[in-house]
Amino acid sequence: MSHTPFRLSGLTVALLALAGVAQAQSSVTVYGAIGLDVVSATHVYNGTSTGSVVKVDDNAIVNSRIGFKGSEDLGGGLKAQFGLESSVRPDTGTAGNGGTTFFNRGSYVGLAGDFGSVRVGRQWNVADDYMGNYFAFGFYSAFLLGGFGPLSDLTNNAIKYTTPKIGGVEAGLFYGLGEQAGRTSAGQTFQAALNYAEGPVGVGGVAYSAKSPTAGVGATTMYALGASYQFGAVKARVGVATADVKDVTAAGTYKANVVDFGVDVPLSAQASLSLDYVKYDKKDSDDDTAFFRARGAYALSKRTTLNANVIFLNNSGNADFAFVTQGRGFAGKAGQSQTVLTAGITHAF
């Protein structure tokens, strides 16, 4: 039996060579995390009365997600970048955020080089890049309080520029287009941030302004400052922010301040503890909120971590903030307090 030698055409050889070059100069990463907590909460308001509830829920600190990110070397130090990320609810197997947006945790494309990076699409704002160094993040955090969502938020149709880090200094600009014909400013958001991190010292600030989607009915401004210092292995931090909300079609008109005092303490190579006290003051009102949160974590490996939270929340006046409610919202009953206990596991891949 004769055999005919297998031959590649010149075009095939060229295409394979180009594919090899492309593979060497570009990369795509699939990543994610999955985490679940058992949550116990008191004074959960069901619309008519309050009571305790025990539930299984998405991890509040490391929200479950799946994402794709990649880059391509374009030469001369220039790279193309992209990112797509979607949250999931592992307790029910459904998409996060109600499933209304598939890539609800970001979808962008951009360029990066010696000039920094420019990205376009649905993105986390520049406050999210830096304020997490000073404020507690996750779903037991100051940014859930009225007026302070911009401390960590996603914006559609946004352009984001981040400078390279020089001498510990980094800055960012963020612009979200309102995209309304004949009403250029309606729905626009603008944010600028500056951060310094070198050695044991960290200092950062952000300014935010947003126009209501309905032209002429109001705007929201927010300013935040944060600082941290590393005392050996222990990190102390403080974040302060002020918000001026003037949106008569949605949140109403009010001013508020928030402060977060926190400390992060490594207990061993695997264990860590974080403590935060957050005070929210609504101006010209007794409707204030304060909470204390302690979070412990124990790393079973580089990818798998056990964690627990203890939260004591107190509302005064007509303040109705709550971390755990009968649904998944963040409103409660006026004047109610809440104690939240969680224990869970997260796994990153």
Instruction: Supply the CATH number for residue 241's domain.
Output: 2.40.160.10
Read off the pLDDT of each residue in 330-347 and give the average, rounded to a whole number: 90
Q: Report yes or no: 214 and 203 within 8 Å, Cβ to Cβ.
A: no
Rounded to an integer, what distance in angstroms lies between the CA atom of residue 192 and that of residue 204?
A: 11
Terminal alpha carbon distance of the chain: 51
pLDDT for the residue 299: 98
Number of Cα atoms under 13 Å in the Cβ half of residue 165: 6
Quick check: 21 pLDDT over 60?
Answer: no
Distance of CA 133 to the CA centre of its chain: 12
In this prediction, residue 249 carries a pLDDT of 59
pLDDT reported for residue 178: 81
| Helix boundaries (H) for 299-343 | none
Q: How far is CA 97 from CA 35, 235, 251, 294, in A?
A: 16, 33, 20, 26
Q: What is the extent of the structural domain holding 257?
A: 72-283
pLDDT reading at 4 higher than 90: no
Listed residue (312, 263, 340) closest to 52, CA to CA: 340
- Residues 302-311 have pLDDT tens digits of 999 999 999 9
* Residue 219 included in any domain: yes
In-domain check, residue 328: no
Q: Which residue has the higher pLDDT, 89 or 121?
A: 121
pLDDT tens, position by position, 242-276: 999 986 556 678 999 999 999 999 999 999 999 99
Task: Note the pLDDT of residue 248.
Answer: 54
286-298 mean pLDDT: 96
pLDDT band at 37 (very low <50, low <70, confident <90, very high): very high
Range 165-188 burial, b when 16+ CB lie within 10 A, else e: eeeeebbbbbebebeeeeeeebbb
| pLDDT-derived band at 12, boundaries 50, 70, 90 | very low
**Residue 157 pLDDT greater than 80, yes or no:** yes
Give residues with Cβ within 8 angstroms of 165, minimum separation 6. none
pLDDT above 70: residue 13: no
Asked if residue 141 belongs to a domain, the reply is yes
The yes-or-no verdict on residue 16 having pLDDT over 50 is no
Look at residue 31 and tell me if it is in a domain.
no
CB 188 within 8 A of CB 210: yes
Place of tokens 């679940």: 36
Q: What is the pLDDT of residues 185-225, one digit of tens each?
A: 788 999 999 999 999 999 999 999 998 776 556 788 999 99
**pLDDT for 86:** 95
Specify whether the CB–CB gap between 218 and 137 falls below 8 A. Answer: no
What is the rounded distance in angstroms from the CA atom of residue 328 to the CA atom of residue 313?
A: 17
Give residue 326's pLDDT band: very low, low, confident or very high (50, 70, 90): low
**Residue 314, in any domain of the structure:** no
- The pLDDT score that the predictor gives to residue 292 is 98
> CB of 191 within 8 A of CB of 204?
no
Whole-number pLDDT of residue 211: 86
In a domain, 253, yes or no: yes
Report pTM. 0.87
CB 102 within 8 A of CB 65: no
Q: What is the mean pLDDT of the chain?
A: 89
Question: Are 81 and 110 in contact, with CB atoms under 8 Å apart?
Answer: yes
* Residue range 228-249, pLDDT digits in tens: 999 999 999 999 999 999 865 5
For residue 309, what are the CA distances in angstroms to 1, 50, 275, 278?
73, 22, 10, 15
**% of residues, the chain, pLDDT over 90:** 72
Q: Which amino acid is at 195?
A: N
* CB-based contact 313:291 (threshold 8 Å): yes
pLDDT the model gives residue 5: 43
Q: Taken in order 229, 231, 232, 237, is the CA torsion positive or negative?
A: negative
Copy the structure tokens of residue 109.
């494309």
What pLDDT is attached to residue 328?
57
Q: Is the pLDDT of residue 112 over 60?
A: yes
Count up the domains in the chain and report the number.
Answer: 1
Determine, yes or no, domain membership for 252: yes
For the cut 70, the answer to whether the pLDDT of residue 332 exceeds it is yes
Residue 302 within any structural domain of the chain: no
Q: What is the pLDDT of residue 215?
A: 55
